[in-house]
Amino acid sequence: MTSRMLKSWLSPLIAFVGMLVIGVVLDQFFNQYVQLIILFACTNIILALSLNLVNGFTGQFSIGHAVFMAIGAYVSAYLSLRPEIFGVKFTMFPEAIDYLNYLVYAVCGGLVAAAAGWVVGLPSLRLRGDYLAIVTLGFSEIIRVILLNTQAVGGARGLFGIPRPDALALGPLTLSPFLVMYVLASFWVVLTFLVLWRLIHSVHGRAFLSVREDEIAAQAMGINTTQVKVRAFVISSFFAGVAGSIFAHSANYLNPSTFGFTKSVDVIIMIVLGGMGSLSGSVVAALFITFLPEFVLRPLQEYTHIDFRMVIYSITLVLFMVLRPKGLFGSREISDIARSLRGERSADERAS
Amino acid sequence: MISVRRYLGHYLGLSLLALTIATVAGCTKKSEPSGEGAQSAANVGIVGDEILVGQFGAFTGSEATFGQSTDKGVRMAFDEKNQAGGIKGKKLKLISIDNQGKAEEAAAAITRLITQNNVIAVIGEVASSRSLAAAPIAQQHKIPMITPSSTNPRVTEVGDYIFRVCFIDPFQGTVMAKFAHEHLKVKRVAVLRDMKSDYSIGLADFFIKKFTELGGTIVADEKYQSGESSFEGQLTQIKAEKPEAIFIPGYYTEVGLIAKQARKLGITATLLGGDGWDSSKLYEIGGDDINGGYFSNHYTTESTDPVVVNFIKKFKERYNGETPDALAAAGYDAAKVLIEAMERAPELTPKAIRDEIAKTKDFVGVTGKITIDENRNASKPAVVVRVDGPNNRFVTTIAP
């Protein structure tokens, strides 16, 4: 029993510790610009992972993922700016353990986003086909316009002065504000990956896959397809909201224009590039999409003095899709690929 | 044994996630321009005999002409100074970064300028929302930032390192209200504002405040969103109220379309606006329907002031006969104010430069006499111009 528990918790723990080591390196040797982009990358990883659950694993087509991120971001930012809302203190922890507040904000942002996901998903997921795409697109426009016209969150000017975690004193060590934010972000990245991975390899996850493969067959097997689809959508929305929260507290500024249609498309690009139905593919693609324009194309532009950043970016995407139409990993995971390189058969092959 | 191997393979993805970040992060260190990244705090922004100044703006995207015009003005000012021998024997080097007109890119761009390129001062942005995203970062690092044409009052409220060389929204709204009342002598005015732009909302609010103070009536306050292309609904509402003038504090793309559709609906009221109208595209889009409209601006090409005449002449020589718009002039002035401050500063540090920018008094710029007040805003007059084909005719100057 204990060995099984150990087995299931050890690897996410190792990944988390690994990310922490990277965080310390980033904190010590890299400037704030690189650090900011890393935080954006964490946001994008969570977004891509969560969208993959809906688009990749459950076979639905949502094209308004940015709206759940927006909801999470604005809720989280608003909570952090107000000491008290409806008599409830959301900034509940004292300054010394300030970082716990950011977990509360993220969870609240995620929950509101999940509730929104439920409201949108319930009617549209009862239907089969492209309805979800249209509804999510419409919903994202509605929320964006509401945000634009709500003066309490800054309207078109945007919401600024969003706090970031303070430096954290741990005995003789002091963690910089970046490191605290990064630890929070990596915690959510690992948690998202873990939850989705476990979910997909569980009975519930098989139900997601069955809906993707053949809805009628799934129904015939006694699966409540609507319920399964809504469940996937709500979980996905929750994590998108969390991603929004991380974004809000790293950028410290929110503007409704950030969460437009292009942001949703960016996330879709990530999952298509990484492979629909591949979690590790989403991670790699999210990193690629975040880093390429900033760390490769910007220096290139500075060096050559020609602004063809977006041209190269687009060409890269086109080439990727021509050369690997199913994405980097297809529906396989990095572990499957590693295993096949070692000449072993995958778990699925063994089962058959 | 088998279980260990299985588990390793199973969660290899997670471990590789960490590895990927490490590898890519490792690569970025190499891509950093050597020399610039490794400056000590003592000589921020000085590399050899070059002074690094950053600029971020929308060089691509839907407001690209704003960023490009500003860039031309700034570059011209820098090159002039360099030809004249530079500052304290050092040449100015401008590093421009594109933010595609996106707020989150603006934050990344200024962070890059300050922490990676190690610039001594920053010039930017045209749009207030992007200046607001960037200003806290400049303030945090104590690097002076001068915005050429962000007119939202909040921008300079961020902190004591943030300056502007333009007037603020309340002033433009007030100017047009005064102009409508005193010059056009109209009593009934409708307002059509862009709800997506804080600039537009600010101008509209202060116009309404001043105009009602002066005894006029606002007969309608309609809203649109930039990016729309049909305004007939709002215009029909406005037409029913029979206004003598319509105040449209939006950007040129929509204003041009609004003018066309208003005339088509038979609205003959005079059209009024702010500096968002200032683009050669306005007449291209609006055609003859926009003729006779008035807007407030930072400067006019028709001025006979020798400073302006000289600036236009040099600009045309440099950029193949292109006439500089107000944003180019504002960019030029922002760069000049910065250069003068660097000249006066006892040493080239961000702090010393900040103190000198704050002391700017009666600086004769292309866009008028600039004095930086205690709130780090420029107090200076505005001009009102009339649209007449592709040119704008100077009408009057309204002092603060």
pLDDT in the model for residue A312: 83
Query: Which pLDDT band holds residue B36 (cuts at 50, 70, 90)?
Result: very low
User: Is the CB of A350 inside 8 Å of chain B's CB atoms?
Assistant: no
Domain membership of residue B285 as a residue range: 170-297
Residue A350 lies in a domain: no
Residue B83 lies in a domain: yes
Residue B280: which of B394, B389, B167, B144 has the closest Cα?
B389
pLDDT tens per residue, range A24-50: 888 888 888 999 999 999 999 999 999
Residue A240 lies in a domain: yes
pLDDT in the model for residue A86: 75
Quote the CA–CA distance of B190 and B246 in Å, as a whole number.
5
Closest residue to B31, CB basis, from A29, A31, A295 = A295
Domain membership of residue A194 as a residue range: 7-260
Residue range A87-94: mean pLDDT, rounded: 74
Residue A42 lies in a domain: yes
Quote the CA–CA distance of A231 and A234 in Å, as a whole number.
5
Residue A1 lies in a domain: no
- The answer on B230 and B194 residing in a single domain is yes
Average pLDDT, chain A: 87
Q: What percent of chain B clears pLDDT 90, i.e. is strictly above it?
A: 50
Cis peptide preceding B125, ω within 30 of 0:
yes
pLDDT tens per residue, range B263-318: 999 999 999 999 889 888 888 888 889 999 999 988 888 888 888 999 999 999 99
- Least confident range of A81-90, A267-276, B78-87, B284-293: A81-90
pLDDT in the model for residue A188: 95
Residue range B349-360: mean pLDDT, rounded: 92
* Position A346 pLDDT exceeds 80: no
B18 vs A18: CB contact, 8 Å cut-off?
A: yes
Residue range A215-240: mean pLDDT, rounded: 93
Query: Which pLDDT band holds residue A2 (cuts at 50, 70, 90)?
Result: low
B107 vs A253: CB contact, 8 Å cut-off?
A: yes
Question: Using CB atoms and an 8 Å cut-off, which of residues 9-68 of chain B contact chain A?
Answer: 9-22, 24-25, 27-29, 31-33, 37, 59-60
CATH code (residue A135):
1.10.3470
Residue B125 lies in a domain: yes
- Least confident range of B38-47, B68-77, B112-121, B210-219: B38-47
Q: For chain A, how many structural domains are there in total?
A: 1
SS3 label, residue A154: coil
Residue A51 lies in a domain: yes
* Position B259 pLDDT exceeds 90: yes
pLDDT in the model for residue B124: 85
- The answer on B202 and B321 residing in a single domain is no
pLDDT in the model for residue B127: 87
Q: For chain B, how many structural domains are there in total?
A: 2
Residue A315 lies in a domain: no
* Position A315 pLDDT exceeds 70: yes
Residue range A330-342: mean pLDDT, rounded: 81
Residue B265 lies in a domain: yes
- C-alpha R_g of chain B: 24
pLDDT in the model for residue A347: 52
Average pLDDT, chain B: 85
Query: Which pLDDT band holds residue A344 (cuts at 50, 70, 90)?
Result: low
Residue B4 lies in a domain: no
Q: Which residue of A has its CA nearest to B14?
A: A15
Residue B390 lies in a domain: no
Residue A314 lies in a domain: no
B136 vs A302: CB contact, 8 Å cut-off?
A: no
- The answer on B131 and B100 residing in a single domain is yes
* Position A233 pLDDT exceeds 90: yes
Higher pLDDT, B51 or B65: B51
Higher pLDDT, A343 or A256: A256
* Position B202 pLDDT exceeds 60: yes
pLDDT in the model for residue A56: 92
Query: CA quadruple A293, A296, A302, A307: dihedral positive or negative?
Result: negative
Q: What string of H, E and C letters represents the secondary structure of chain B? A: CHHHHHHHHHCHHHHHHHHHHHHHHHHHHHHCCCCCCCCCHHHCCEECCEEEEEEEECCCCCCHHHHHHHHHHHHHHHHHHHHCCCECCEEEEEEEEECCCCHHHHHHHHHHHHHHCCCCEEECCCCHHHHHHHHHHHHHHCCCEEECCCCCCHHHHCCCCEEECCCCHHHHHHHHHHHHHHHCCCCEEEEEEECCCHHHHHHHHHHHHHHHHCCCEEEEEEEECECECCCHHHHHHHHHCCCCEEECCCCHHHHHHHHHHHHHCCCCCEEEECHHHCCCHHHHHHHHHHCCCEEEECCCCCCCCHHHHHHHHHHHHHCCCCCCCHHHHHHHHHHHHHHHHHHHCCCCCHHHHHHHHHCCCCEEECCEEEEECCCCCEECCEEEEEEECCEEEEEEEECC
Residue A68 lies in a domain: yes
Burial class of B31 by CB neighbour count within 10 A (0 to 12, 13 to 18, 19+): middle
pLDDT in the model for residue A350: 47
* Position B25 pLDDT exceeds 70: no
Burial class of B39 by CB neighbour count within 10 A (0 to 12, 13 to 18, 19+): middle
Residue B5 lies in a domain: no
Question: Using CB atoms and an 8 Å cut-off, which of residues 182-221 of chain A contact chain B?
Answer: 189-190, 193-194, 197
Quote the CA–CA distance of B128 and B210 in Å, as a whole number.
22
CATH code (residue B351):
3.40.50.2300
pLDDT tens per residue, range B158-193: 999 999 998 888 888 999 999 999 999 999 999 999
Q: Which residues of B touch A10 (CB under 8 A)?
A: 7
